[in-house]
Amino acid sequence: MDKEKKDIASKSLSQIAWHRLKKNKLSLFGLFIIGCAVLVAILGPLIRPDGTPKSNDQILEITTKKPGFSVEILKVTKNQKEKELSAWDYISEGVENDFVTVPIYDYSFEGYNLVVEKYTGANVNNGQILKYNIADILYSLDHNDVTESNGFLDFYTIDGGKQHVAVADLIARVKEENIVSQKYILGTDKYGRDLLSRLMAGTWISLFVGFISVFISLIIGITLGSLAGYFRGWLDDLVMWFINVVWSIPTLLLVIAITMALGKGTWQVFIAVGLTMWVEVARVVRGQMLSLREKEFVEAGRALGFTNARIIFKHIIPNVLGPVIVISAINFAAAILIEAGLSFLGIGAQPPQATWGKIIAEHKGYIITGKAYLAILPGVAIILMVLAFVLVGNGIRDSLDSKAVDDMPTV
């Protein structure tokens, strides 16, 4: 027995499975894609170019601009106090900008005012001329009473009270902090929103709908499958009848019906998808339970006086988790597809929530134009995410296969 075989012989079954999985390059690629998606979803507004809630900062003057487009943006501070957000709200939604974004074509300073020509996107810009007080651009003013004397501005802010600042310093700050060049790596959508940010925000919805749906399906499927397989008899007949009824209804049709009953919204979609995915889990758990309930360790548990609940949940279910994990990975991919389909039909997460299916629906008319990428890019994101979970599911299945002998030690 060589060194590698000896090392494997000393490992647990889970370690052997992980050793096999690491040799599967396609599964590792899937894990890499999932890992990147998880990071994008968790970091959320921290790494998105547009960190506003649902990446919904609309600038109608720059709609459907091509990838790599850049424009100068003027940030005008809003006259309001800062809002406090919880960590969950910050991650799941984002932070509302404390400024108004104005795309500009040209600008100049006149005294303590900034005069700008708005960007229109036309060949000859000919945009609206706007005038802003530089103090109002930088600060949240308590009121618009700004006075100038000897090169200084006197004004009142919401938080800091009376301010006395040199005009030259304010102009320098406006140039450095409030007039910025913004680049849109993937361009903008039909509402002037950053397409890259919208795709990144959609990652959170896709992963979360998969997680919640799989969690609900595991709770229902494992419970019903365990009870039916262990106790058999009339309970098994009843559960199997219920499984066959649910199985006979098309999944998408059932999801739509549940969504209509619960109402349109993000959480309703999570619940609806989860309530349709427990069937596969229940069938697999029931089949495994029918086999394992006759094993010696189960008989030993009964002889020792263990309760049925302890035998089922502490001794049998840990032995059926392998197939359940594989099914969960496939169900995760299916949940992402179903959510995208529901959003495309308009009965999933509602606008302005960013979802990949909704982005496709909003831009499907551009498929036959030179801007087909607006609908293709979210489609590619869906394909990559679904493919990643399928590859990982197949890799887990192969690594847990007890018949695989390529890595098993020889005696």
In 3D space, the residue among 84, 95, 78, 97 whose CA is nearest the CA of residue 158 turns out to be: 78
Name the domain count of the chain. Answer: 2
Complete DSSP assignment for 321-349 = HHHHHHHHHHHHHHHHHHHHHHHHHT-SS
Mark whether 260 and 344 lie in a shared domain: yes
- Indicate whether 60 belongs to any domain: no
| Model confidence pLDDT, tens digit, residues 283-310 | 999 999 998 888 888 888 888 888 888 8
Mark whether 176 and 212 lie in a shared domain: no
What CATH number is attached to the domain comprising 328? Answer: 1.10.3720.10
Which region among 16-20, 58-62, 233-237, 327-331 has the lowest average model confidence (pLDDT)? 16-20
Write out the residue range of the structural domain in which residue 389 sits: 3-38+196-399
Q: Domain boundary at 138, 157, 190, which?
A: 190
Spacing of C-alpha 25 from chain mean position: 25
Spell out the residues 6+ positions from residue 80 whose beta carbon is closer than 8 angstroms to its own. Answer: 98, 140, 158
pLDDT over 80 at 9, yes or no: no
pLDDT of the residue at 346: 86
Query: 253: part of which helix (H) or strand (E)?
Result: helix 251-262
Mark whether 100 and 241 lie in a shared domain: no
pLDDT over 80 at 105, yes or no: yes
- Indicate whether 56 belongs to any domain: no
Mean pLDDT within 181-201: 95
Mark whether 211 and 186 lie in a shared domain: no
- Indicate whether 246 belongs to any domain: yes
pLDDT over 50 at 409, yes or no: no
Mean pLDDT within 48-63: 91
- Indicate whether 410 belongs to any domain: no
Mark whether 164 and 304 lie in a shared domain: no
Mean pLDDT within 174-203: 94
CA-CA distance, 335 to 338, in Å (whole number)?
Answer: 5
- Indicate whether 270 belongs to any domain: yes
Supply φ then ψ for residue 52, to 5 degrees. -75, 165
Mark whether 162 and 283 lie in a shared domain: no
Q: What is the mean pLDDT of the chain?
A: 87
What is the band of 108 on the pLDDT scale with cuts at 50, 70, 90?
A: very high
Mark whether 154 and 256 lie in a shared domain: no
**CA R_g for the chain:** 29
CB 78 within 8 A of CB 29: no
- Indicate whether 382 belongs to any domain: yes
Mark whether 202 and 182 lie in a shared domain: no
Which region among 29-33, 123-127, 216-220, 283-287 has the lowest average model confidence (pLDDT)? 123-127
CB 390 within 8 A of CB 334: no
Q: Domain boundary at 170, 190, 210, which?
A: 190
Mark whether 276 and 168 lie in a shared domain: no
| Model confidence pLDDT, tens digit, residues 308-361 | 888 888 888 888 888 898 899 999 999 999 999 889 988 878 888 899 999 999
CA-CA distance, 274 to 223, in Å (whole number)?
Answer: 14
pTM for the predicted model, two decimal places: 0.86
| Model confidence pLDDT, tens digit, residues 384-395 | 999 999 999 888
CB 346 within 8 A of CB 361: yes
The verdict on whether omega for the bond into residue 409 sits within 30 degrees of 0, i.e. cis, is: no
What is the band of 411 on the pLDDT scale with cuts at 50, 70, 90?
A: very low
Strand, coil or helix: 389:
helix
Mark whether 215 and 313 lie in a shared domain: yes
| Model confidence pLDDT, tens digit, residues 14-25 | 777 778 888 889
pLDDT of the residue at 2: 52
Q: Domain boundary at 166, 190, 214, which?
A: 190
pLDDT over 70 at 235, yes or no: yes
- Indicate whether 324 belongs to any domain: yes
Mark whether 336 and 394 lie in a shared domain: yes
Q: Which two tokens stand for residue 383?
A: 């394909």
Query: 154: part of which helix (H) or strand (E)?
Result: strand 152-157
pLDDT over 90 at 195, yes or no: yes
Mark whether 325 and 203 lie in a shared domain: yes
- Indicate whether 204 belongs to any domain: yes
Alpha helices in 44-189 (DSSP H): 87-92, 134-138, 167-173
pLDDT of the residue at 169: 93
Please indicate whether residue 404 or residue 66 has the higher confidence score (pLDDT).
66
